[in-house]
Amino acid sequence: MDEDLRANEKRSLLPFLLAFVVLTVPLSYVWLAWGNDLYGRLLLDVVGRPGAPAGGNAAAPRFISVVPFFVLMWVTPGLDWRRRLWGSVSGLLLLALVHGVLLFAVKDAGASGQQSVSRYFPFVVLADGAPLLLWLVFARDFVRSVVPGLAEHPQNGGPA
């Protein structure tokens, strides 16, 4: 019985993964061609460095994490439209906050790009991990359905 259940979970996971890849590739291209610089300039205006080129900042490559978060929010099965929309908007605002903190942390580093990122490594980890953590919050029911053991309750001997 467990093998049949796992096979069904894998079959339901395959369309999700395929949709994620199919949407992430073109959106990443669009983001890198136009969105990253625009988003970076907007964040630089907010953190107090208007007019500076976003691409020259060591934090700019981290901004692409917006793309997988957005795609995950829209391809995750089982999310109702309100949770999907609320999660996307609030998640993007939280990511902008995280990216703004990262930008603020590296904007006056005075070192070259790679040295700046290395010096502020905790901010980089936060910026890279935040999209996944936010998605896990909004898609927790889906994650519980595809990760064995997460749906068990403590009184049954499993994790909450």
Alpha-carbon span 77 to 12, nearest angstrom: 9
Alpha-carbon span 10 to 93, nearest angstrom: 32
Residue 103, pLDDT score: 77
Q: Both tokens of residue 112?
A: 């070259």
Residue 95, pLDDT score: 92
Alpha-carbon span 42 to 4, nearest angstrom: 50
Residue 1, pLDDT score: 43
Residue 123, pLDDT score: 78
Q: Token match 């205006």: residue?
A: 45
Q: Both tokens of residue 28?
A: 């990443």
Alpha-carbon span 41 to 60, nearest angstrom: 10
> Cα 147 vs. chain centroid, distance in angstroms?
19
pLDDT tens for the chain, residues 1 to 160: 455 545 555 557 889 999 999 999 999 999 999 999 899 888 888 877 665 655 566 678 889 999 999 999 999 998 999 999 999 999 999 999 988 887 777 665 555 556 655 677 777 788 889 999 999 999 998 988 888 777 666 565 555 5
Alpha-carbon span 14 to 93, nearest angstrom: 29
Residue 38 contacts by C-beta under 8 Å, 6 or more apart in sequence? none
Q: Where are the domains of the chain?
A: 2-148
Residue 136, pLDDT score: 93
